[in-house]
């Protein structure tokens, strides 16, 4: 069977056994990321983990992404085809992984991994027997911040209090018949909910961060969170039908609403504090302005007194007397 530029047979033959390390399939998904895909590939090739297959799937890019990807044709496996969307692409990678990989990890083409990322994630999975190892986030691009998540709880996943992206490390045998489904939004969340409800073990990699690029006008940033709430609700409705005792579709909007209210309250406190500081600063400025006004008045009064002295007969007499004394000294 041949997929684009790489055959399944070739995948079977590569890195079957490398010092007993479990095989990891790292799949880079690319659609019109010419500007960034090279950095993503470089970060994959720079991984310290030794039993790693790197596959780049070009999902019908219309920019120069494929030209950039082909620069690495001797180092990575390339699948190039017409555009079929992120869900099809994710599931395509699962089909590749089940051939002979123990773990699967995705990397979106506008993100990148630190060099020890895969190695650290595999160590955690092997030590804890986790089915999914999920990282914290380092957000960069239009802003720069780190987001640290808490240990796993399915209710926190439902309420978006923790996030599991496809850049988590996934044990292939744990996937079973689960596949990515939702075409509109939150396909990763939907997929990991399915694994969680089936009792798969999730472990947080507390020291691991994905480098997650945030830019304006991308698929994630161009959508309003509350506009997507109806899609989130539909996903939870689907899982509620299968696990009614574990899922209530209303939990997410309620939780988000509470967090929004808490955020508004906290911002209100910050604004009040700033206003208090501003008022205090205003009072200080007013006092300084009064002091400056008094100093100016004193200077004006002093200048007037000096002018009066200079115009007095005594001052003029003293000035003439001083001039006579200076001439006498000169002679």
Instruction: For residues 26 and 173, state if they share a domain.
Output: yes
Instruction: For residues 235 and 282, state if they share a domain.
Output: no
Q: Tell which of 249, 275, 296 closes a domain.
A: 249
- pLDDT for residue 217: 59
Instruction: For residues 276 and 214, state if they share a domain.
Output: no
Instruction: For residues 179 and 309, state if they share a domain.
Output: no
- pLDDT for residue 8: 44
224: domain CATH number? Answer: 3.90.550.10
Instruction: For residues 85 and 34, state if they share a domain.
Output: yes
Helical segments of 223-250, H only: 229-242
Instruction: For residues 92 and 206, state if they share a domain.
Output: yes
Q: Which domain holds residue 259?
A: 250-331
Instruction: For residues 315 and 230, state if they share a domain.
Output: no
Q: Tell which of 249, 274, 292 closes a domain.
A: 249
- Counting the structural domains of the chain, the total is 2
- pLDDT for residue 9: 42
| Spatial distance between the Cα atoms of 187 and 174, rounded to a whole number of angstroms | 18
Instruction: For residues 213 and 255, state if they share a domain.
Output: no
What is the distance, to the nearest Å, from the Cα of residue 24 to the centroid of all Cα atoms in its chain?
24
| Spatial distance between the Cα atoms of 65 and 57, rounded to a whole number of angstroms | 11
Cβ-contact 208, 135 below 8 angstroms: yes
- pLDDT for residue 15: 40
Instruction: For residues 55 and 198, state if they share a domain.
Output: yes
- pLDDT for residue 268: 61
Query: Shortest CA distance to 212 belongs to which of 264, 173, 278, 166?
Result: 166
- pLDDT for residue 308: 72
Within 10 angstroms of residue 185's Cβ, the number of other Cβ atoms is: 17
| Spatial distance between the Cα atoms of 76 and 98, rounded to a whole number of angstroms | 18
Q: What is the mean pLDDT of each run of 10 residues along the chain (331 residues)?
A: 44 54 98 97 98 98 98 97 96 96 98 98 98 97 94 94 96 97 90 97 97 74 68 90 87 60 58 70 82 82 73 69 71 65
- pLDDT for residue 16: 44
Instruction: For residues 76 and 210, state if they share a domain.
Output: yes
What phi and psi, each to the nearest 5 degrees, are found at residue 277? -65, -40
Q: Tell which of 249, 280, 314 closes a domain.
A: 249
Instruction: For residues 237 and 255, state if they share a domain.
Output: no
Instruction: For residues 259 and 243, state if they share a domain.
Output: no
Query: Shortest CA distance to 186 belongs to which of 132, 252, 262, 93?
Result: 252
């Amino acid at each position: 069977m041949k997929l684009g530029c790489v055959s399944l047979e070739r995948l079977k033959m590569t890195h079957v056994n490398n010092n007993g390390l479990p095989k990891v399939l790292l799949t880079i998904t690319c659609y019109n990321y010419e500007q960034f895909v090279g950095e993503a590939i470089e970060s994959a090739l720079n991984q310290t983990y030794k039993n790693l297959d790197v596959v780049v799937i070009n999902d019908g890019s219309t920019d120069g992404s494929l030209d950039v990807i082909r620069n690495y044709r001797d180092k990575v496996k390339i699948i190039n085809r017409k555009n079929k969307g992120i869900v099809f692409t994710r599931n395509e990678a699962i089909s590749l992984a089940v051939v002979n990989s123990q773990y699967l990890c995705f990397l979106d083409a506008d993100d990148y991994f630190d060099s020890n990322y895969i190695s650290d994630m595999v160590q955690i999975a092997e030590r804890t027997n986790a089915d999914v190892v999920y990282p914290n986030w380092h957000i960069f691009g239009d802003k720069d911040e780190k987001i640290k998540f808490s240990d796993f709880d399915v209710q926190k996943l439902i309420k978006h209090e923790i996030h599991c992206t496809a850049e988590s490390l996934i044990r292939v045998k744990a996937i079973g018949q689960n596949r990515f489904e939702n075409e509109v939004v939150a396909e990763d969340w939907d997929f990991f909910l399915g694994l969680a409800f089936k009792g798969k073990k999730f472990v947080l990699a507390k020291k691991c961060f994905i480098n997650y690029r945030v830019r304006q006008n991308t698929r994630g940033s161009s959508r309003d969170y509350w506009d997507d709430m109806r899609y989130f609700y539909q996903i939870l409705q689907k899982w509620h039908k299968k696990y009614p005792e574990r899922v209530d579709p209303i939990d997410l909007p309620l939780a988000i609403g509470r967090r929004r209210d808490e955020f508004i309250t906290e911002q209100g406190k910050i604004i009040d504090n700033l206003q208090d500081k501003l008022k205090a600063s205003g009072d200080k400025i007013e006092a300084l302005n009064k002091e400056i006004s008094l100093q100016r008045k004193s200077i004006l009064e002093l200048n007037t007194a000096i002018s009066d002295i200079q115009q007095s007969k005594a001052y003029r007499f003293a000035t003439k007397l001083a001039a006579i004394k200076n001439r006498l000294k000169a002679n």
